[in-house]
Amino acid sequence: MAIITVISNKGGVGKTSFAISAGYYLSKKSGRETLLMELDSSPGDFGPIFDIDSKRSLEMAVRFPANFSNYIKKIDDNLFALKGFPGPFLAEGSVSEGIKNLISTIESRYGNIIIDTQTVFNRVLLDVCIMASKIFLVTDNCLESLSRVINLYEMLTLTHAIEKSRVNLIVNKKRLTDYFRVWDLSKLTEVPVEGFISYDRKFNKNLFISSKNKLINTKMYRQVGRIIENGFNS
Ligand X SMILES: Nc1ncnc2c1ncn2[C@@H]1O[C@H](COP(=O)(O)OP(=O)(O)OP(=O)(O)O)[C@@H](O)[C@H]1O
Which positions lie near ligand X, rule CB under 6 A? 8, 11-17, 40, 119, 172-173, 197, 199-200, 203-205, 220
Site string for Mg ion, 11-40 (x = CB under 5 A): ----xx------------------------
Q: CB of residue 148 vs ligand X: minimum separation in angstroms?
A: 12
56 part of the interface to Mg ion, by CB under 5 A? no
In the complex with Mg ion, the residue whose CB is nearer, 116 or 194, is 116
Q: Give the residue from 38, 30, 39 showing the smallest Cα distance to 1.
A: 30
Q: For residues 205 and 222, which CB has a smaller minimum distance to ligand X in the complex?
A: 205
User: Which 3 state secondary structure label does DSSP give 146?
Assistant: helix
Residue 30 contact partner, candidates ligand X, Mg ion, none, CB within 5 to 8 A by sort of partner: none
Q: Are 151 and 8 in contact (CB under 8 A)?
A: no
Measured torsion, CA atoms of residues 56, 59, 64, 70, in degrees rounded to the nearest 10 = 10
Cα–Cα distance between 57 and 72 in angstroms, integer?
7
DSSP class of 85: -
Q: Which is nearer to Mg ion, 15 or 83 (CB)?
A: 15
In the complex, least distance from residue 122 CB atom to Mg ion, rounded to whole angstroms = 15
CB closest to Mg ion, residue no: 16
Ranges of H-type helices in the chain: 15-29, 46-50, 58-63, 93-106, 123-131, 143-154, 182-189, 207-210, 212-216, 219-233
Shorter beta-carbon distance to ligand X: residue 115 or 197: 197
Q: Which is nearer to ligand X, 127 or 140 (CB)?
A: 140
Least separation in angstroms between residue 28's CB and ligand X is 20
How far is it, in rounded angstroms, from Cα 176 to Cα 54? 41
Q: Interface with Mg ion by CB under 5 A: which residues?
A: 15-16
